Structure 1
Amino acid sequence: MSSTTNQDTDLNLDEDEVIQDWSDISKIQNDNPILSIPKRGEKDYEPDGTDIQELMLYRAKKAMFDTLENSVRGSTVKSQVKGYYIPDKHVAMLPHAKGNFVQTMGETDKDGTLWLHFFEFLYLAERGTITPYWKAYGDNVELPLSIEDLYSYFKNQKEMDNFSIYAHLKRLGFIVRSSDQYIITKYNISFYPPLDFKSKTIGSMRNIVHRITSSFTSTGISLFNGIIFSHWHFYLKRYKSSPEIYESLNKLITHQKIPHSISDLRYEHNNVKEQSSYSTPTSLKISFNIWKPNPTFKKKYPELPDYQVVTYNKNVSNQSFPTYNELRTLFKSLDYKFNFIEDSSNVDFWNKNTYNNGILRENILDELTNHPRNKIKNTEQVGKKQSVNKKKTPRKELPPHIQQLKRLKNGYRSFLLAIMDNGIISFAKISEADFGSENVWYVPPPNGIVARPNQNGRNKNKHRNTQRKEDKQSKK
């Protein structure tokens, strides 16, 4: 009777709520490689003060400790991967790297040695993928390191925060790469084309014209504000409808122009470097580029990231929540798959608008696939052919007011602010909305006709009823 009740309780409980019974497994000989841990009963969440409960707890602990003490533990020498920490460069190297992590982590040199950032090295050591060693660069002496030793090599609190965020995102399954730290070569992935001398001169001239025109617009707004707040304005202007009032009120409030297209994004990005007033602080900058899980990911020629992360520790005295100017600088420095331009799943579009080291990504992929010596699996080309052959059903266009609500809710550009609070990580999405150019107070109806949904529904029902009556009469 007790065994059936125990089985029933096991079915109702979750996996982590069921207590493990080590008493039977401790009796099994160590030469049996396949072991299964049996389960039993319910948990005792609070002590009841009885000796029976203390005895059961003692026996369970002793069985677990005996099992762990007598079991054969360790790693196979053949599958062991050694990693060496280089203190002079604060990086790590793996002379004989093997495993799936090589596809998304570190950089490989010409000799086949994998170089890792320190946070990547510590992450692999924590999960048991590599065995860490200390080794001076160019020296043959190697010393084994523990996880505690690796934690003592952090340079500052910022680096420790970045590791916590990196490890958290990696455990969730994302592909995470550093945005500004490079070991061997700097692979520049950008949505923006490289600037030559001609484009720089044109951009500087446009910047001068923009500053002159913006001064005139600001002067015009200030004059308008001075006139509309005076009593003379009502003698000069007569409002005949509500939209005229709202349009006049809209001119009272100044707002920043937000890029809505590819040309606007690239024009603003070219002028960021020339504006010294928007300098990004060292404490707040983009820390990581994040990609969704992708089996065809290539770390040498990657796609644009899906997200970008900025690290912020609220417990550090010299850090504060980003100000308005800092947020503007961060928005202008973003470089990822902007969702308001095109969906991230459209591979063809992003290949045509992504630059790897100043070269169009589409040209790089064509050169790699058509090279006679390079016999790689052309998974991306196969995906292209399948996408062309499959007829995509066109998406239904949403009504204008629904599109406006989505634009105001999701914004245009956005990044993830990783907030560290005493070791607890919280992610906040900071997006850039445009309330200045959105007509949120009044939407004029088409052709001056106001149609209510209830009335339209009633009219449709009346039309259907009359049509049915006419059909019945024609049949008779």
Structure 2
Amino acid sequence: MDDSLEQPSLIAPKADEVPLEDDDQSSGDEDGALDWTKLIPTVARPVMPKRGEKEFEPRANGGTNLQLYILNRARKGISYGIWYPGFGRTHVTVAHGIHFSTMGHSAPRPFVDENGASKTHKRLELLPEEAIYLIERGALFCWKECNMDLSSLQGFEGFAGVPMSVQQAYAEMIGRENLTLDKFQVYAYLRRLGYVVTRAEAPNDSYPMPPPFDLSKPKPKASLICRIFLPISYILSRARRVFTRSFSWWKPLCLSRWLYHDYASIYRSLRFMSAGHDNTLNRPVPTTLVASYSPYRIFFNVYKPSTPFKKTAPPLPDFQVVVVK
């Protein structure tokens, strides 16, 4: 023990002058373990994340004119829709923004007019993944068919209720039209990156589809000189092979230089399956058979942000995505 520590004094020793070996040894002897509290610095404190400064603060007696103006302007930029659980679509009644240039499709639906006559009109509808994506972004107010509150809007008098929350949209729309949670996560991730994502298989007859891929490889066209001299060179090579071939016990089909049989032609005549680069063995399987047993089905068509995209006539996709858990 140090002599300076045994004598009483009014001045406390400095931290660097006090030996730490005795404390460590005593704690190790008493507890038999390390002091884990020394690993965490004392200055570390949890800090709430900041998402930016607000333009105004809420008031207890109600909003100011600036608050009401910003809220009304935000409401004018939001789209409105109605979710129909019967056929798994969201009917967009009021469309705002640029989202609908690449999302949604026009679907004919029957209705009864004021005179009682049955007619058909086209309306903008969203698939479940498109509706959930817009609801999450805050770009769409969606009401359920039996729970709507659009009385303040023109043409929607008589409805009551509140818009669907994000949780309710997940519960209502996940599982409809072959949409799983994994597929929606892939869809939302690609959309946030700027890609245009559509279905690879049409969910109904009115859904626009791109043209099919041309899988046939075009054969290179030979030049005019090659087409003229190729038969002549083939005849000369066959004639040279006939007149110069000698008999060999290893090739008994070559009986003499005047009588010669080509092994390739014999094997070709015995072949019962087509072969070669032009005739592949992997024949395309019908889509109905693939859908019955294969989990690796193409579900999304993906277009780059720079690809010119027309919603009514989409071009060939840049990528095709299979979603597998």
* TM-score normalised by L of structure 1: 0.35
Give the structure, 1 or 2, with the largest relative contact order (CA under 8 Å, sep 6 or more).
2
Structure with the largest fraction of helix: 1
